[in-house]
Structure 1
Amino acid sequence: MAVVIVLAGVRLTRIAETLSDRTGLGDAVGGALLLGAVTSLPGNVTVVTGALGGDAGFALANPLGGIALQTVWLAIADLVYRRANLEHAAASLQNVLQSIVLSAMLAVPVLAYATPTLTLGWVHPLTLLIPALYGYGLVLLRQMQRAPMWQPTRTEQTADADAGDAVENSNAEDPGGPGSGDETSTARLWAALAALGLLVGAAGWVVGRAGLSVVAGTGLEGGIIGFTLTTAVSSLPELVVLVTAVRLGHLTLGVGNIIGGNVFDMLMVALADVAYLRGSLYSDAGPTGLILLGGTLLMSATLAAGLVMRERRWIGFEGVSIPAIYVGTILLAIGT
């Protein structure tokens, strides 16, 4: 299933990028919405599988693990891009804003943990705030794209934010461009998007069932398996796209895809609470879920700080801190 998710997921990403250009959504909204949706499909199905299976910890840990692991992958990409610090070179206010929105969304489950008896049916009412924050974040991104009030300082190490767009535009003019898919009609691209979406969705269901089987077979807590093993499989497309984008020099696009995907992954927390029919997801996820949530929030805040500070060194403080926080979070969760 990992192979299926990688091959289909990369193709899905290319189609989504083309459709984003053709529909006029642009990189800020189209990238965050369309790309985030298609690359998160395996994780969506895995989360629903765990929630319907009655494992609250597994269902909550999968989206949190996706956010955490994909943030770690930015540190890996930093190693690939040796010319400068990746967060310095990929100067983008949109990425900073999305990191702030992500931190705000991660704070919502913390409040839900503190109010376990507050429910509407079986769903915690604060869950409704997660998609509301996501939608408002898209509005803010659109406003920032049209009339930015701040500009990052450009240096000799700053990547051209328009380079990725230029490549995409040249591919649109040249049907032979790599991964353009522009010889195909828009209707066929939508059909291919749907077909590949069903494929990776089915793969996500198998990953979810396999993860629950690992929990049953090993006796490990569902939150640990969801935060590490199943997340590592379902999030592979984002890693491939990130490393490819960085190697091609599309730094802002690569970092933006990861952060935009992380923001979209928070919607899976709301989806998990809705699909978990035994009560409030947060109260049943236990202290392990709260540890994973806190670690993910700390990693996201560290990334936001790195994007603002833009250290000139090859590996900045965020490149060291984020993997350390990830490993420390897992060890702390195992020890509880």
Structure 2
Amino acid sequence: MTAWPFWPSVLALLGSVVVIVFAGSRLARAADELADRTGLGEAIAGAVFLGVITSLPGIVTTATGSLAGDAEFALANPIGGVALQTVWLAIADLVYRRANLEHAAASLENMLQAVVLMGLLALPVVAFATPQLLIGWFHPVTIAIPILYVAGLRLVQRMQTDPMWQPVRTRDTRDDQGDDGDEGRPLPVLWGTLAGLGLVVAVTGWVIGQAGLGVVAATGWPSGITGFTVTTAVTSLPELIVLIAAIRQGALTLGVGNIIGGNVFDVLTLPVADAFYLDGSIYRAAGPTSLVLLGGTILITAVLAAGLLVRDRRGVGFEGLGIPAAYVGTVGLAIVAR
């Protein structure tokens, strides 16, 4: 596959930013309305509707990298997506000035999803340690990840219907409040809008993948670092746009659920990377840099989970400082480890 030249790749990435900003703001409105109309609630709607659709650019980008035979680039995209999208929460804390965002958007579903995410991220560590275990050309972890993902969703649904814990309510806590369901666009129109926007961001993901590989080929930058930072910054923009839009609409739980649910869904991109990499297990080919990026991402997720539990009331909280610091440290260690 011939790589795109440098400047067309850069222009394609910039154009993708414009498309994603346009689609992302509309996704937040459609998902918020669907959450109210279907009765699913904002945390579940953020995880399922927005988590799936906003992850499509990353999925297509990852598949593009795997088919091109670049294992580091393919793995770095979903791992970097989880890391950078968590950093978006720290940025969103600056936008929502009434209180700490993790405090205001108190949600047991989001807390459980953060725990499930750490479990999902632990499985690739096992795959890196046992690259010789293969089923056909891919690792058994490729099968285990979606199984654990479905089990996690069932636990989240069970917690929503029969909660055993409740967050302490304060005057800064914001409830998941829906409309009465009688107003707004018809449901078929909402579903059509969601599907159409999903198609747009999926096609944009292919463009981002090709452009990212073009940048790697033209500059000689490490493909793992490029995937973890440059292309991930573009593919993760839907989550940031939707998060900011949701906060401005007052749908705090939806916004946070979009990030955490999107991160959980992004881990499903790892099996995609392994399945589309046809030269054996992608974990064998990726090298130690990808393991550094994975370990840093688990740390970032642990800091977020702690923030959701502790719920600092004012300011950005310790997680607002710890998450960006862990991200920068991870990139630095990955560069040194090469």
What's the TM-score once normalised by structure 2's chain length? 0.90
Deviates more, 1:292-301 or 1:81-90: 81-90
Identity of aligned residues (%): 62
Give 1:174's aligned residue.
183
Once the 2 structures are TM-superposed, how far is the Cα of residue 19 of structure 1 from its aligned partner?
4.1
Once the 2 structures are TM-superposed, how far is the Cα of residue 198 of structure 1 from its aligned partner?
2.3
**Relative to 1, partners in 2 of residues 1:30 and 1:242: Cα closer, same or farther, differing over 3 Å?**
closer
Q: Following superposition of structure 1 onto structure 2, how do residues 208-219 of structure 1 map, counting pairs within 5 Å?
A: 208-219=209-220
Give 2:87's aligned residue.
72
Contact 1:5–1:42, Cα closer than 8 Å, also in 2: no
**Relative to 1, partners in 2 of residues 1:13 and 1:313: Cα closer, same or farther, differing over 3 Å?**
closer
Deviation string for 1:119-176 (max 9, x for gaps)?
101110012111111101111111111111011111222x2222xx33xx15x4333x
Give 1:93's aligned residue.
108
Q: Following superposition of structure 1 onto structure 2, how do residues 149-298 of structure 1 map, counting pairs within 5 Å?
A: 149-157=164-172, 159-162=173-176, 165-166=177-178, 169=179, 172-175=181-184, 182=185, 185-298=186-299
Contact 2:43–2:258, Cα closer than 8 Å, also in 1: no
Could you say what secondary structure the match of 2:287 adopts? helix
Once the 2 structures are TM-superposed, how far is the Cα of residue 199 of structure 1 from its aligned partner?
2.0
Q: Say whether 1:137 aligns with 2:152.
A: yes
Give 2:139's aligned residue.
124
Once the 2 structures are TM-superposed, how far is the Cα of residue 26 of structure 1 from its aligned partner?
4.0
Runs (4+) off by over 6 Å? none
Q: Say whether 1:109 aligns with 2:110.
A: no
Give 2:69's aligned residue.
54
Once the 2 structures are TM-superposed, how far is the Cα of residue 307 of structure 1 from its aligned partner?
0.7
> Cα RMSD over matched residues?
1.7
Contact 1:108–1:127, Cα closer than 8 Å, also in 2: no
Deviates more, 1:212-221 or 1:242-251: 242-251
Hey, what's the Cα distance between the residues in 1 that align with 2:247 and 2:35? 20
Contact 2:46–2:255, Cα closer than 8 Å, also in 1: no
Once the 2 structures are TM-superposed, how far is the Cα of residue 193 of structure 1 from its aligned partner?
3.2
Give 1:43's aligned residue.
58
Deviation string for 1:263-313 (max 9, x for gaps)?
111111111111111111111111110010000000000100111111223
Q: Say whether 1:33 aligns with 2:33.
A: no
Give 1:300's aligned residue.
301
Hey, what's the Cα distance between the residues in 1 that align with 2:290 and 2:283? 8
Q: Say whether 1:316 aligns with 2:314.
A: no
Could you say what secondary structure the match of 1:54 adopts? coil
Hey, what's the Cα distance between the residues in 2 that align with 1:30 and 1:82? 24
Hey, what's the Cα distance between the residues in 1 that align with 2:280 and 2:188? 41
**Relative to 1, partners in 2 of residues 1:19 and 1:251: Cα closer, same or farther, differing over 3 Å?**
closer
Hey, what's the Cα distance between the residues in 1 that align with 2:124 and 2:303? 19
Hey, what's the Cα distance between the residues in 1 that align with 2:38 and 2:166? 27
User: Letter of the aligned partner of 2:60 in structure 1?
Assistant: V
Once the 2 structures are TM-superposed, how far is the Cα of residue 21 of structure 1 from its aligned partner?
4.6
Could you say what secondary structure the match of 2:309 adopts? helix
Contact 1:16–1:38, Cα closer than 8 Å, also in 2: no
Contiguous gaps of at least 5 residues in structure 2:
1-15
